[in-house]
């Protein structure tokens, strides 16, 4: 039986793809490259790095990101309650949600202790009854006055001048 010798070239051709995959895997683990002597953050460093704000994803407002369900509240007219599911989803510097009758969106600015709700907008579907319509007007007015967000042991309290709104995490509500 004749013996066949593998050439160096054929061994390299079989091993080269493995070496390339290994190099890619190692480069994926490395952090962003820094330019020696530069005080500029690397382009792929994400938001909040360095002295100046860099482009990237919105910086989440610590502790309040998530999907919340309205429990109850108080405004200058008294208690705010509703028999409808009202949601508030906070992601980065924006909020979206569904009130008693309409969907809404806004942007957030600041920190939990100095929060500003800006550019509140909502759809204009008619509510099925006056009670839901009245709640929705009060809910949107209360959101516009929020200045503080307090995450407290699994719930979220939004406060502002004359306004307190309590929310529970969406997954904590019983199904049904």
Report residue 147 as tokens: 């200045």
So what's the pLDDT on residue 52? 40
Question: Mean pLDDT in the chain?
Answer: 76
pLDDT at 169: 92
**Average pLDDT score over residue span 4-31:** 51
The set of residues, in sequence order, having a beta carbon less than 8 Å from that of 66 and lying 6+ positions away, is 89, 90, 156, 169, 170
Q: Flag the least confident range among 41-50, 94-103, 129-138, 162-171.
A: 41-50
Section 112-126 average pLDDT: 93
In a 13 Å sphere around the CA of 35, the CA atoms on its Cβ side amount to 7
Contact at 8 Å (CB) between 165 and 145?
Answer: no
Lowest mean pLDDT across 31-45, 66-80, 146-160: 31-45
Domain borders along the chain are: 1-57, 66-171
Among 1.10.10.60, 2.40.128.270, 3.10.180.10, 3.30.1490.70, what is the CATH number of 66-171?
Answer: 2.40.128.270
43-97 residue pLDDT tens: 444 443 334 433 334 445 667 889 999 999 999 999 999 999 999 999 988 999 9
Indicate if the pLDDT at residue 172 is higher than 90. no
pLDDT band at 20 (very low <50, low <70, confident <90, very high): low
User: Which range has the worst mean pLDDT, 50-59, 82-91, 149-158, 165-174?
Assistant: 50-59
Residue 9 has pLDDT above 60, yes or no: no
Which whole number is the average pLDDT over 118-130? 95
């Amino acid at each position: 039986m004749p013996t066949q010798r593998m050439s160096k070239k054929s061994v390299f051709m079989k091993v080269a793809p493995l070496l390339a995959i290994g190099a890619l895997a190692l480069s994926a683990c490395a952090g962003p490259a820094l330019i020696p002597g530069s005080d500029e953050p690397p382009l792929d460093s994400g938001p909040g790095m360095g002295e100046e704000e860099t482009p990237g994803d919105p910086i989440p407002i610590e502790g309040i990101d998530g999907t919340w369900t309205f429990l109850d509240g108080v405004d200058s007219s008294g208690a705010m309650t509703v028999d409808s599911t009202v949601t508030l989803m906070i992601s980065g510097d924006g909020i979206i949600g569904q009130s008693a009758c309409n969907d809404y969106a806004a942007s957030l600015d600041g920190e939990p202790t100095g929060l500003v709700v800006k550019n509140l907008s909502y759809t204009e579907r008619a509510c099925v009854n006056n009670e839901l319509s009245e709640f929705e007007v009060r809910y949107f007015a209360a959101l516009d006055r929020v200045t503080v967000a307090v995450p407290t042991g699994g719930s979220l309290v939004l406060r502002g001048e004359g306004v307190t709104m309590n929310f529970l995490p969406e997954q904590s509500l019983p199904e049904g």
